[in-house]
C-alpha cells in the first residue's frame, strides 16, 4: 500500500507540512518495498482550489492512505470518493508518523475544516 | 446648486467604501443619495444589504441572478482530463472514472465546456441571489442580495451595474461591501470618485489604509469622510494630513444622529441640520468630480 504525506522538503528527514493543499511536496511511502518517492505539488501556487488539485494528485499517485495534520472539506470530498483514508499526524517527523500508523496509533482525521476559500487568492 | 449634469454620456458614479463594516458607508451613501436631486442608490454590500431598511423603497421589482455552472454527463466523459487541467481554479477533479464539479469554486468562465472534445459538459443556470429595484422619494434604490452560502457576490454586482445603464442623468451612489477584495474592486470599477469613510481609531487607520491602497491602485480620485468624530486626537485624520489626503467632511459622533440611524431613518430627510451637512458634502464631492473631469479632458 502507498501512504502519502505532505512534506516541507524533498528529503527523507523532512518534516510534515502544516498545510495539505499548499504543501511543496508529497512523500509517497510504499509499505511493501519500504521505498519513498517525492512528487511535486503542482497545486502549490494555484489561485484557488489548491486542496482539490492536491487531492487529485494523491488519488493519481494511487495512495490508499493520507497522513496530514489537517484537510479542507473539498479535498476531503475528493479523497473520500476515491476511498483514501485520512489519518491525523501526531509528530513533526514523517518517520515517527509512519511508525505510529503501522502500530495502529494514529487516528482518523475527524475535524475536516471548511477551507480557506477566498482568503488570499480570490 | 452647481450644475452636476452634462458631464458626458454616462452618469456620475460616486463609490463609498471602507476597510471594515460599521464605519458609516451606508450612512454616508444613503444620505448623499437623499440629498441629491435625482439619485440612484446602489447597495453593493450584497452579503448584508441594509440600505433598503432606511429607504423603504416602494414598487419593488425583483430579478434573480444566475451564474453558469458546468454539468457533466459521466456516461459521455472519456476521462481525458482536458477540463481538469484547464481549470485555473481547480473546480474539477477526475476520481475513479468520474468527473466531479465543485460548484462553489467555479468562476463560470465556460472554458471546460468549450474544451471538452466529447461534449460531456453542458452549462446550467444556478441562482445565486437577486437584485431589487424600488423608489424612495427622488431616489431609485437598487439592492443586490447574495444567497447565504454562495461564495462570490461579484455576479450580483455586475447585474446591479448593468441595471443602471438606462438612467444616464441620475447621479449614482454606490454603497460598497466592506474591505478591499474582488467584490469591492468590482463595485468601484466604473466609479468617477471614491469616498472613503474612516473611524477615529488606530484600528480605523488600518482599515482606511487598506482602501487607500486600493483606490490608489485603481487610480481613482478620492477623498475621506471622518465619521464618529469626538474631541481629542483622531488617528485617521493624522493619517490623511500626513499623506495630503483630502478630508471631505467630519461627521460628529452625536447621539441624535445615532438615534436617527438606529431607528432606520435617513438623517437628511428628518433633520435640517443633517440635510445641510450632507448637501454640503455632496457639493464638495461633485466639485471634486468636476475638477477631475476638467483636468482629464
Size of interface A-B (CB pairs under 8 A): 57
What's the pLDDT band for B293 if we cut at 50, 70, 90?
A: confident
Are residues B199 and B58 both part of a single domain?
yes
Contact B96 A56 (CB under 8 A): no
Are residues B83 and B225 both part of a single domain?
no
pLDDT at res. B168: 82
Are residues B208 and B172 both part of a single domain?
yes
pLDDT at res. B166: 81
pLDDT at res. B165: 86
Is residue B285, in this structure, part of any structural domain at all?
Answer: yes
Spatial distance between the Cα atoms of B104 and B288, rounded to a whole number of angstroms? 41
Chain A interface, Cβ < 8 Å to B: 43, 46-50, 52-53, 55-56, 59, 74, 77-78, 81-83, 117-118, 122
Question: Is ipTM beyond 0.95?
Answer: no
Helix (H) or strand (E) holding B168: none
pLDDT of B164-215, one tens digit each?
Answer: 988 888 999 999 999 999 999 999 999 999 999 999 999 999 999 999 999 9
* Residue B4: pLDDT over 60: no
Residue B18 sits in a domain of what CATH number? 3.40.50.300
- Rounded to an integer, the average pLDDT of B117-123 is 96
Q: Which residues contact B36 (CB under 8 A, 6 or more apart)?
A: B4, B138, B139, B171, B173, B282
Q: How many domains does chain B have?
A: 2
**Residues of chain A with C-beta less than 8 angstroms from the C-beta of B152:** 118, 122
Are residues B102 and B239 both part of a single domain?
no
Are residues B94 and B229 both part of a single domain?
no
* Residue B17: pLDDT over 60: yes
- Structural domain range at position B94: 74-119
**Residues of chain A with C-beta less than 8 angstroms from the C-beta of B89:** 46-49
What's the pLDDT band for B297 if we cut at 50, 70, 90?
A: low
pLDDT at res. A122: 33
Residue B264, CA atoms < 13 Å, CB-side half-sphere: 8
* CATH homologous superfamily for the domain A2-102: Dinitrogenase iron-molybdenum cofactor biosynthesis domain (3.30.420.130)
Contact B100 A48 (CB under 8 A): no
Is residue B222, in this structure, part of any structural domain at all?
Answer: yes
- Rounded to an integer, the average pLDDT of B261-289 is 96
Instruction: Give 10-residue mean pLDDT values along chain A (122 residues).
Output: 96 93 96 95 90 96 96 93 95 94 92 66 34
pLDDT at res. A120: 39
Are residues B232 and B259 both part of a single domain?
yes
Is residue B49, in this structure, part of any structural domain at all?
Answer: yes
pLDDT at res. A47: 83
Q: Per-domain residue ranges for chain A?
A: 2-102
Alpha helices in chain B (DSSP H): 25-35, 51-55, 82-86, 111-115, 154-162, 182-188, 202-217, 235-243, 255-262, 267-270, 272-295
- Rounded to an integer, the average pLDDT of B63-83 is 96
Chain mean pLDDT for chain B: 93
pLDDT at res. B149: 84
Q: Dig out the grid coordinates for A94 from the structure.
A: 514523517
Q: Which residues pair with B250 in a beta bridge?
A: B226
pLDDT at res. B236: 97
Contact A52 B90 (CB under 8 A): yes
Is residue B162, in this structure, part of any structural domain at all?
Answer: yes
Are residues B23 and B100 both part of a single domain?
no
Is residue B128, in this structure, part of any structural domain at all?
Answer: no
CA of A77, closest CA in chain B: separation in Å?
A: 10
Is residue B125, in this structure, part of any structural domain at all?
Answer: no
pLDDT at res. A118: 52
pLDDT of B212-222, one tens digit each?
Answer: 999 999 999 99
Is residue B231, in this structure, part of any structural domain at all?
Answer: yes
pLDDT of B23-46, one tens digit each?
Answer: 999 999 999 999 999 999 999 999
Share of chain B above pLDDT 70, in %: 96
* B72 C-beta neighbours (distance < 10 Å), count: 20
Contact B105 A59 (CB under 8 A): no
Contact B88 A46 (CB under 8 A): yes
pLDDT at res. B10: 67
What's the pLDDT band for B294 if we cut at 50, 70, 90?
A: confident
pLDDT of B241-257, one tens digit each?
Answer: 999 999 999 999 999 99
Spatial distance between the Cα atoms of A80 and A74, rounded to a whole number of angstroms? 10
Amino acid at each position: 500500500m502507498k501512504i502519502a504525506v505532505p512534506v516541507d522538503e524533498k528529503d527523507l528527514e523532512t518534516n510534515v507540512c502544516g498545510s495539505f493543499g499548499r504543501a511543496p511536496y508529497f512523500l509517497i511511502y510504499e509499505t511493501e518495498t519500504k521505498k519513498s518517492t517525492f512528487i511535486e505539488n503542482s497545486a502549490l501556487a494555484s489561485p484557488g482550489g489548491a486542496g482539490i488539485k492536491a487531492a487529485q494528485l494523491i488519488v493519481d499517485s494511487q495512495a490508499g492512505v493520507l497522513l496530514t495534520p489537517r484537510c479542507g472539506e473539498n479535498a476531503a470530498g475528493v479523497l473520500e470518493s476515491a476511498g483514501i483514508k485520512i489519518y491525523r499526524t501526531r509528530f513533526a517527523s514523517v518517520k515517527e508518523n509512519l511508525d505510529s500508523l503501522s502500530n495502529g496509533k494514529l487516528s482518523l482525521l475527524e475535524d475536516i475544516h471548511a477551507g480557506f476559500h477566498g482568503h488570499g487568492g480570490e | 446648486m452647481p450644475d452636476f449634469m452634462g458631464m458626458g454620456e454616462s452618469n456620475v458614479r460616486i463609490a463609498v467604501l471602507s476597510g471594515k463594516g460599521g464605519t458609516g458607508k451606508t450612512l454616508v451613501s444613503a444620505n448623499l443619495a437623499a440629498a441629491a436631486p435625482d439619485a440612484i442608490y446602489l447597495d453593493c454590500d450584497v452579503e448584508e444589504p441594509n440600505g433598503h431598511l432606511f429607504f423603504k423603497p416602494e414598487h419593488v421589482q425583483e430579478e434573480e441572478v444566475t451564474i453558469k455552472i458546468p454539468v457533466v454527463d459521466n456516461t459521455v466523459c472519456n476521462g481525458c482530463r482536458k477540463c481538469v487541467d484547464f481549470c485555473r481554479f481547480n473546480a474539477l477533479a477526475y476520481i475513479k472514472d468520474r468527473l466531479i464539479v465543485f460548484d462553489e469554486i467555479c468562476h463560470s468562465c465556460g472554458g471546460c465546456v468549450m474544451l471538452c472534445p466529447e461534449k460531456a459538459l453542458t452549462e446550467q443556470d444556478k441562482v445565486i441571489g437577486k437584485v431589487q429595484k424600488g423608489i424612495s422619494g427622488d431616489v431609485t434604490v437598487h439592492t443586490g442580495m447574495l444567497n447565504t452560502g454562495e461564495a462570490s457576490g461579484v455576479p450580483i454586482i455586475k447585474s446591479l451595474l448593468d441595471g443602471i445603464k438606462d438612467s444616464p442623468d441620475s447621479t449614482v451612489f454606490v454603497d460598497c461591501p466592506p474591505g478591499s477584495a474582488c467584490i469591492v474592486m468590482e463595485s468601484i470599477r466604473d466609479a468617477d470618485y471614491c469616498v472613503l469613510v474612516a473611524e477615529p481609531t488606530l484600528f480605523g487607520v488600518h482599515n482606511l489604509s487598506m482602501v487607500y491602497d486600493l483606490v490608489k491602485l485603481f487610480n481613482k480620485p478620492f477623498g475621506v469622510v471622518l465619521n464618529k468624530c469626538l474631541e481629542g486626537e483622531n488617528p485617521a485624520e493624522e493619517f490623511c494630513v500626513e499623506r495630503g489626503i483630502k478630508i471631505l467632511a467630519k461627521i460628529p459622533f452625536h447621539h441624535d444622529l445615532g438615534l436617527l440611524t438606529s431607528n432606520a431613518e435617513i438623517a437628511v430627510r428628518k433633520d435640517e441640520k443633517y440635510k445641510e451637512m450632507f448637501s454640503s458634502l455632496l457639493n464638495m464631492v461633485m466639485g471634486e468630480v468636476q475638477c477631475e473631469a476638467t483636468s482629464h479632458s
